[in-house]
Amino acid sequence: MPDPDSRLTELRPRSEDSRSAVPPIPPRQTLVEEMVVVLSLSLLASAVFAIIDLLSGPLSGVAVAVYGNVPLASQLASILFGLAPVALVFHLARRSGEGLTPVGLGAATLGQDAGWGVLLGLGVATLGIGIYLASVALHVNRFVVPVPPLGHWWTIPVLVVGALQAALLEEVIVVGYLIHRLEQIGWSGLAAVGASAVLRGSYHLYQGWGGFTGNFVLGVVFGLFFLRWRRTWPLVAAHFTVDVLAGVGYIVFRGDCIFHACIR
């Protein structure tokens, strides 16, 4: 027969000491960083764009623009809030205690990474323009306009800043973060690279099949690079180089026809 006293002991509430300890509150800087990231991914962006919309003209009366550079403000706001997921990866990596090195973002060889990335970008740009022009000529791809609105003093600066935002967003999320996390949940390195490449190609399908194919191949190359060296910064530099070259090339050659593909 079970001892009645033992049963009563089981039913008694556990003492304060035996309960699991409440996690300590993170430092103030960590909480501020968390709030900025969460709001940037949600309603802060909506608030900023609403303010820009409000300032774009008077509420009634004569339709005279109050805020003359609405396109510039919108471009910059889109770029800024487009970096929020990157900030989230940085935040999570530091908060978990892993640090930035496992996702390839350690700063020990940043200068060297940038140099190798530019060289890699030049090679990728050469291959990419060939795939793009061939795809357009074969009518399996749309014309792509890789620049902000033309004819403004800020066209080139916004092109450069936008290229940096796209490079950080894609390479930090789709390569460094995603491949590392997939490996942590048990995927092989090659399977993680394949998933990363398919994702990269998929969100470029708005361009057509050429956009998918070129970016899938790029995803495989960048993913294998990450597996070999575990560095993300060279990929950011390469992507940045490709996007800037594509934008400048469009501005310079948009009236020409190359390989029967007219860049309009």
Query: Using one digit for the tens of pLDDT, what is the confidence trace for 99-148?
Result: 999 999 999 999 999 999 999 999 999 888 888 888 888 889 888 889 99
Query: How do 261-262 and 257-258 pair as beta strands?
Result: antiparallel
The alpha-helical segments, DSSP class H, found in the chain are: 4-11, 28-40, 43-55, 70-82, 84-95, 110-137, 155-170, 178-184, 189-202, 209-229, 233-253
Query: Across the strands, what pairs with 257?
Result: 262
Q: Check pLDDT > 80 for residue 3.
A: no
CA distances from 193 to 158, 217, 225, 226 (A): 31, 11, 10, 9
Q: Are 100 and 171 in contact (CB under 8 A)?
A: no
pTM for the full model? Answer: 0.83
Query: Across the strands, what pairs with 258?
Result: 261
pLDDT at 61: 53
Torsion angle, CA of 78/81/85/88, rounded to 10 degrees? Answer: 170
> pLDDT averaged over the chain?
86
- The distance from CA 103 to its chain's CA centroid, rounded to whole angstroms, is 14
The residue extents of the domains of the chain are 25-82, 102-262
